[in-house]
Amino acid sequence: MSTSQILWIDLQPSLYCLFKRTAQSLGQNFEVKRWSFEHDLDESCDVEVVHSLMRHTIENSSNPVHLIGHGISGTIAYLFAQKYPNNISSVSVLSVDTNSTNQWTSHYQSMRSQLPCSRFHILSHLSRLLVDRKTEKVVNIMARLLAKCLDNDLVYGSIVNSQPITNLNKAEVPILVINGEKDFVVDEQSEIRWRHCLKPGDCYQKISDGRHFFPFTEWNKTAKLIESFVRMVPEQHQNQVPNSCKNLSISKTNS
């Protein structure tokens, strides 16, 4: 097992079951720890509060860590690495746009305010778009998970509404971006927006036919991409570009 330590940032614990197989696959070769954030209902919270708690964990770590996060968790992990690059070896973000407001919850809130439908019908519709599994059983389970996330977890547009989340810019540490080719949340133009943020050595990958929650359906591909990237990052990252990664900037996979 590699000595590299992966810290999976999880700000929406209700949805972690969708990423568990990817994390378990990475755990076969790396030390993977889950950093989960939970709060009381209606508790005041913003990005700075989350970052302060993350700093406490990361600064007390014996080795630099590789951060991973999906959606809003990836956005906030990326912003953390921008502000506090020390002790961060790399950041891998999944289903993340440089436009920080572009979250699945934003689409839900827009549909909820405009369509004369019940919450369940909107979430059922979203479930079919977010995951490439069309059986009624999966759709119903996904709708319940999304509802639980909206009620209990950190989502953009509710408890973080008082402080808009900053859009993403260049970060000093090595960055891996993995997005789904058919993700209606992180649209096709996201790849162009990312080009202005990624430096030589950073990587952009696409999961062919992947939707927003592709780590659930394409967990093996996702884990392999992250593993390959983490292995190319020097053990003690000191703002240098990994030579073996210089030709991977804005790369794409159809596997």
- DSSP sequence for 227-255: HHHHHHS-SS--SPPPGGGTT-TT-----
Percentage with pLDDT > 90 across the chain: 69
Q: Radius of gyration (Cα) for the chain, nearest Å?
A: 17
216 versus 4: the higher-pLDDT residue is: 216
Res. 41 pLDDT band, cuts 50 70 90: low
The rounded distance, in Å, linking the Cα atoms of 145 and 8 is 19
Highest mean pLDDT among 75-89, 130-144, 154-168: 75-89
The rounded distance, in Å, linking the Cα atoms of 243 and 3 is 20
Residue 89's pLDDT is what? 96
Question: Which residues of the chain does CATH 3.40.50.1820 include?
Answer: 5-101+160-245
Tell me the backbone φ, ψ of residue 166, rounded to 5 degrees.
-65, 140
Sheet holding 65-70, edge to edge: 31-36, 5-10, 65-70, 88-94, 175-180, 203-207
Is the pLDDT reported for residue 48 higher than 60? Answer: yes
Res. 165 pLDDT band, cuts 50 70 90: confident
The identity of residue 195, as a single letter, is: R
Q: In sequence order, what are the residues at sequence separation of 6 or more whose Cβ sits closer than 8 angstroms to the Cβ of residue 144?
A: none
5-101+160-245 CATH fold: Rossmann fold (3.40.50)
For the ranges 34-38, 54-58, 119-123, 161-165, the lowest mean pLDDT is seen at 161-165
The rounded distance, in Å, linking the Cα atoms of 20 and 23 is 5
Is the pLDDT reported for residue 67 higher than 80? Answer: yes
